[in-house]
Amino acid sequence: MTPLNSYSADHRVLVEAAAKAANLTDPVAFVAGGYVYGLVGNAIRGELVPLEGALVRQWVTRSKYYPATTFGVRLYKLDGIAFARAVAFVDQNYDQNAYDIFVVARADYVKLFRSVLRVSRAKVPESLPPVLPPEQLDVLKQNTLGYLDRNNLKRIKDLGGRPKRGLLLTGPPGNGKTSACRWLWEECRRTGHEYQIVSPDAYQAARRSCNPVQAVRDLFTVHRSGVIFFDDMDIALRDRNTVRETDDQAVFLSALDGIQVNEGVVYVFTTNCGLELIDPAFKRPGRIDLVLHFTLPDAGLRRKLMDRWHTDVRAGIDLDVAVKQTAGYSFAEVEELKNLLILRYIDTNLWQWEWAMDQFKENRSDLAEQHRHVGFSPVGAGAGASTNGNGDGH
Ligand SMILES: Nc1ncnc2c1ncn2[C@@H]1O[C@H](COP(=O)(O)OP(=O)(O)O)[C@@H](O)[C@H]1O
Ligand SMILES: [Mg+2]
């Protein structure tokens, strides 16, 4: 054991050396505990400075989290606040953390702590919803998260309302149906609601089990309040190789109707099919209460999408031209153009919008040769029905 007086003298040396290296007046020493990753992970790393004339560099991976020295002082800045970490692994008998302390000027001590709290909290941000017309986003939010709000649910029940709600998201591919689901389930996770995602595969497996009605019912049940997503439901319901479609719809609908709801549940179904192709029995109120149509973005929404692009990308192109030339494109197609643009930039160091447009059209015409048929639509009528604007269809 090191006698206490020499142990504290060692610590004074560390504090003084760190304060001197970082030019800190009236230094305060601290250990960061659980905040250490928030602190050093978000700070700008400065140089390494010798401690008592000695410096040992340490090779580390993920270096932003480590001082990368076993003997020395590492300088940092967070939100413009200078601080330092003094490290001295002096004796193998010591806990490695014994001689490893942070030092900051007293005047900045509280400020630094607040900064760490702020950046640590910023780690779980609200996730970004897809770009939608504001009214549509409101309707979506109100009918899902708003509906599940404890106070609302209670009032609905008290007034004798149905604690079940069905939403159908429709529209041509690539305009944010799946993105909206993804955003909603992130929000469920953040706000503590249950959620369940039913995949076409899981649905098919339930259908083939020996008690299909019960198995399907289980898939579509949450125990507390929550949201159940059935993305691309038409693909699951119309797998003609596995089940006869009329029979399948009936099983599906009776399973849905038979579910006992404990607190409150929202069903969110998505499909690329036009509404007219969807079984009227399914669309009946009580099963589907609300249909939200995800259409191709107008100029304003395309601009909003581009406003989310990296500043370098936006600075490299003429946004007015980009908005104008993408009339009739889906959100996903506009994103694909950005992707081509970036790949081209990596190759050539130039932002070439025209090149991206040409390349995009070329890729599209290659794909258009393989006629794909998805969903409810009869051959020749459906999947290609979304207008594509650039004249070559899907
Ligand atoms: N409304 C939107 N806002 C932002 N990005 C979108 C939007 N719609 C589509 N995208 C982009 O296109 C991709 C595919 O869209 P997706 O939501 O899967 O379309 P859908 O399910 O309607 O076919 C997304 O991952 C996203 O990058
Ligand atoms: Mg989708």
CATH topology of domain 299-385: Helicase, Ruva Protein; domain 3 (1.10.8)
pLDDT of residue 124: 56
| CA distance linking residue 294 with residue 171, whole number of Å | 5
120 membership: H or E segment, kind and range: helix 109-121
Give the per-residue pLDDT at 92: 59
Burial of 155 (0-12, 13-18, 19+ CB in 10 A): exposed
The DSSP-derived string for 255-276 is HHHTPPPSS-EEEEEE-SS-GG
Q: Which atom of ligand 1 is nearest to the CA of 182?
A: 17
Answer yes or no: is pLDDT of 114 > 90: yes
Rounded to an integer, what distance in angstroms lies between the CA atom of residue 270 and that of residue 168?
A: 6
Here the tokens at position 93 are 């008998």
The percentage of residues in the chain with a pLDDT greater than 70, rounded to a whole number, is 87
Return d(Cα 194, Cα 262) in angstroms, integer. 12
Nearest ligand to the CA atom of 296: 1
Which pLDDT value is given to residue 104?
Answer: 98
Q: Can you state the angle between helices 353-368 and 331-348, rounded to 10 degrees? A: 120
**Lowest-confidence pick of 180-194, 295-309, 311-325, 343-357:** 180-194
Is the CB–ligand 1 distance for residue 137 below 6 Å?
no
Please give the distance, rounded to the nearest whole angstrom, from the Cα atom of residue 125 to the centre of ligand 2. 24
**Of 52-56, 229-233, 279-283, 339-343, where does mean pLDDT reach its minimum?**
279-283
Identical fold for domains 134-293 and 299-385, yes or no, is: no
How confident is the model at residue 52, as a pLDDT? 92
Of the bound ligands, which one is closest to the alpha carbon of residue 177? 1
Residue 344 pLDDT level (bands cut at 50, 70, 90): very high
Question: 265-270 and 226-230: which strand pairing?
Answer: parallel
Q: In the structure encoding, which two tokens stand for residue 10, read together?
A: 């060692």
More confident residue, 78 or 204: 78
Q: In this predicted model, what pLDDT tens digit does every residue of 44-83 receive, in sequence order?
A: 999 999 999 999 999 988 778 889 999 999 999 999 999 9
Which of 46, 51, 57 is closest to 13 using CA atoms? 51
- What confidence score (pLDDT) does residue 377 get? 45
pLDDT number for residue 331: 97
Task: Supply the pLDDT for residue 245.
Answer: 54
> What does the pLDDT read at residue 95?
54
pLDDT(153) > 70:
yes
For ligand 1, is residue 172 a contact (CB within 6 Å)?
no
Q: From atom 4 of ligand 1, which residue's Cα is the shortest distance away?
A: 130
Q: Which sequence spans correspond to the domains of the chain? A: 4-121, 134-293, 299-385
Helix (H) or strand (E) holding 40: helix 36-42
Strands (E), the chain: 27-30, 44-49, 56-57, 69-78, 81-88, 100-105, 164-170, 194-198, 226-230, 265-270, 290-293
Read off the pLDDT of each residue in 251-258 and give the average, rounded to a whole number. 80
Per CATH, the homologous superfamily of domain 134-293 is: P-loop containing nucleotide triphosphate hydrolases (3.40.50.300)
Q: How many residues are recorded in the chain? A: 394
DSSP state of 116: H
* Pair of tokens at residue 288: 């589907």
State the pLDDT at residue 384: 40
350 or 119, which is more confident: 350
Query: Which residue carries 């692994």 as its tokens?
Result: 89
Is residue 52 within 8 A of residue 17, CB to CB? The reply is: yes
What is the tens place of the pLDDT at every residue in 19-36?
999 999 999 999 998 788
- 240 pLDDT tier (thresholds 50, 70, 90): very low
Calculate what percentage of the chain has a pLDDT beyond 90. 52
Nearest-CA residue for atom 7 of ligand 1: 176
pLDDT band at 323 (very low <50, low <70, confident <90, very high): very high
